[in-house]
Amino acid sequence: MENIVTHKVKKELSEIRLDQFLKNNISELSRTRIKKLIINGFLKLNSKIIIDPSYIVKENDICTLRIPEPTDAKPLGEKIKLEIIYEDNDLIVVNKQKGLVVHPAPGNPNKTLVNALINHCGISLSGIGGEKRPGIIHRLDKETSGLLVVAKNDKSHGGLAEQFKNHGRDGKLTRAYKAIVWGIPTFSSGIISTFIGRSDKNRKKMAVFSDEKYKSKKAVTHWKVLKKNNENNLALIECNLETGRTHQIRVHLDHISHPILGDPLYGYGYKTRINKLKSSVKILVEKQGNSQALHAYKLGFEHPSTGEKLIFETDPPENMKSIIESF
């Protein structure tokens, strides 16, 4: 059912953006959702439709927002196996398996995590972005396994999105990955700070730039060595992200000449490297195939409704785990 809310601007709440004023007064909606509603003509200011979210509200302005009933999702629910780590009325944490795309897109219109979540959650999903679909806060590449949190409603979507936007700088968010890399780093830890943008040579790849150009963005990765396999010249690395760019860990580890084992895009000299491995490890690495040995093993955040600090950890997939145990 459609909902209509009206708020009069008080003096102490005036002189701020329209979307921010509404966000302050409608806690169950995310600011992104509010902006979209304004742009689409669902907001009347003093009885006239206004489509500018940046309008500065004045004292005694009357804002009337029409919140339409959520529509059915465009993606359909599909029965796909999910490893659910935690679930409540506001959010769900899953351990995504390798080979599963997170969101429908050209080339992957179905059989995605979103399709699986729509099937699993059913009517418990509310109107994220105006549709009955999961609120995807962050993504993992198709061949990257690990922990993902998904919002079930606008309020939790807004709260989680804000934490991911800050990338842990406020102490609320924790994200850590494990990666098996070719070669053993000279140092035990380090920080990689560059700009990342779309490669000019291969549009499927991202590339490192020394400064902000070609629409590149600042990217910072903190890394440390957890284990070494000197015999096979492999290392287990932990990475923590200060930013969240596309392919960030894969690009950055390749940038310091330690590409992720099995990475089909950024791993180079694969056949030469694999032929130097000892037989027992070589078999496991060959099983890894064109699938990067990268796992999002730790995820922590502040619950958007209760404020409770939640933290989760999972083991890597069996084959990656076996390679690590061979060290």
Q: How far apart are CA 10 and CA 59, in angstroms?
A: 5
pLDDT on residue 128: 61
Distance between alpha carbon 4 and the CA centroid of its chain, in Å? 32
Q: How far apart are CA 249 and CA 257, in angstroms?
A: 12
Q: Are 237 and 221 in contact (CB under 8 A)?
A: no
CATH architecture of the domain 177-296 equals 2-Layer Sandwich (3.30)
What is the DSSP pairing of strand 234-241 with strand 145-151?
A: unpaired
pLDDT on residue 264: 87
Domain ranges within the chain, ordered by starting residue:
3-67, 70-166, 177-296
Which of the listed CATH numbers 3.20.20.150, 1.10.3720.10, 3.10.290.10, 1.20.1050.10 matches domain 3-67? 3.10.290.10
- Do 70-166 and 177-296 have matching folds? yes
String of DSSP letters for 206-217: EEEESSS-TT-E
User: What CATH number belongs to 70-166?
Assistant: 3.30.2350.10
Cβ-count burial 237-266 (b if 16+ within 10 Å, e if not) = bbbbbbeebebbbbbbbbbbebbbbbbebb
Residue whose entry in the numeric block shows the structure tokens 């919002």? 151
Look at residue 242 and give its three-state secondary structure.
Answer: coil
Active site residue 170: no
pLDDT on residue 122: 78
Nearest CA among 174, 257, 193, 179 for reference residue 225: 179
pLDDT on residue 70: 72
Catalytic member of 19, 61, 141, 263: 141
What Å distances lie between residue 86 and 90, 115, 143, 152, 303, CA to CA? 11, 18, 22, 13, 12
pLDDT on residue 113: 92
pLDDT on residue 297: 98
Element housing 92 (H / E) = strand 91-96
Distance between alpha carbon 208 and the CA centroid of its chain, in Å? 20
pLDDT on residue 72: 67
Residuewise pLDDT in 10s, the chain (327 residues): 678 899 999 988 889 999 999 988 887 788 888 998 999 999 999 999 999 999 999 999 999 999 887 776 678 888 999 999 999 999 999 999 999 999 887 777 789 999 999 899 876 775 565 666 778 889 999 999 999 999 998 888 888 988 998 877 788 899 999 999 999 999 999 999 999 998 888 888 999 987 776 678 899 999 999 999 999 999 999 999 988 899 999 999 999 999 999 998 887 766 778 888 888 888 888 888 878 999 999 999 999 999 999 999 999 999 999 999 988
**Residues in Cβ contact with 113 at an 8 Å cutoff, skipping those fewer than 6 apart:** 80, 82, 94, 96, 100, 101, 102, 103, 134, 148, 150
DSSP state at residue 28: T
Q: How far apart are CA 46 and CA 78, in angstroms?
A: 45
pLDDT on residue 254: 95
Q: How far apart are CA 16 and CA 131, in angstroms?
A: 28
